[in-house]
Amino acid sequence: MADTPQNKEDLVSDFSKSMSYGDYLHLDQILTSQHRLSDHHDEMLFIIIHQASELWMKLILHELRAARASIQQNNLEPAFKMLARVSGIQKQLIQSWDVLSTLTPAEYMQFRHKLGNSSGFQSYQNRQIEFMLGLKNPRVLAVYEHQPELLKLMSEAMSEPSIYDAAIGALAARGLTIDPECLQRDWSQPYVENESVTEAWLTVYRDVDQYWDLYELAEKLVDIDSRQQQWRFNHMGTVERVIGFKRGTGGSSGVDYLKHVVSQRYFPELWSLRTVL
């Protein structure tokens, strides 16, 4: 919140030798990065929604990486604040679909052809978030092969443990029995639900007083998983509202693809245990 000076003389107006608000935020770069490829009024909405989403995704990755490091150091409490912030950011991303859905099919068709094969499917930050949450699919790397540095970045991100891998490690660190194959594995491969992890989480949920920090960690992860599903569902609804069942600009099946991924869960044992409890 901006400070309110008590009188007019308190206002700083000479920024020839000091940093201004615009300087600090590099607004000259940010606000001149919206380049429409058509003359259609609503293309500006389309660009800004996606650029703003990428900025929020950058913050999600910033928080998830720090939370993972905190969990790996067996210092869970700082991670709770970071994961709660991720959930808050996800709310912003979910609500952005409401704004984009004000774009009608007739309006979008006026500039959709200008997008070529570019598609949100290619968002490397969204893919990194998926990797960080545990959804690993080596096939998605193919879309980055034309950019060697980005491909290297994505390959490295895929080979790192997810935040759920870190959480499973935290279970083991507290003396709960976890299969060694869950603790020492090829992190680039998709995580497979494991009975020992289910039993460990059940122990936590059945004795929350003893394992309160692990219990809170689990619920923070469930919040993120749930919000990610909401984001996908709203994405699917917006796409169907604007383009129906047309194929995506990047070659995906569009709504059919989104319907397939909307039910994916990142932390399977944290959902299955609810039936067992």
Q: Could you tell me the two tokens for 23?
A: 């300087």
CA dist 225 and 205 (Å) reads 18
**End-to-end Cα distance, the chain:** 45
Q: Which of 269, 268, 237, 267 is nearest to 255 (CA)?
A: 237
The response to whether 215 counts as a known ligand-binding position is no
Q: Is 224 annotated as a binding residue?
A: no
Does 163 count as an annotated binding residue?
Answer: no
Q: 50 a known binding residue? A: yes
Contacts of 30 (CB under 8 A, 6+ apart): none
Which among 37, 56, 175, 187 is positioned nearest to 116, based on CA atoms?
37
49 is in an annotated binding site: yes
Q: Is 168 annotated as a binding residue?
A: no
Q: Which of 221, 191, 175 is nearest to 76 (CA)?
A: 221
Neighbour tally for 128: CB within 10 Å: 21
> 71 labelled as ligand-binding?
no
Tokens encoding 144: 């980055």
Q: Is 46 labelled as part of a ligand binding site?
A: yes
Residue 235 is assigned to a ligand binding site: yes
User: What torsion, rounded to 10 degrees, do the Cα atoms 162, 168, 173, 175 define?
Assistant: -170
Helix (H) or strand (E) holding 161: none
Binding residues for heme: 235
Binding residues for substrate: 46-50, 108, 112, 249
Binding residues: 46-50, 108, 112, 235, 249
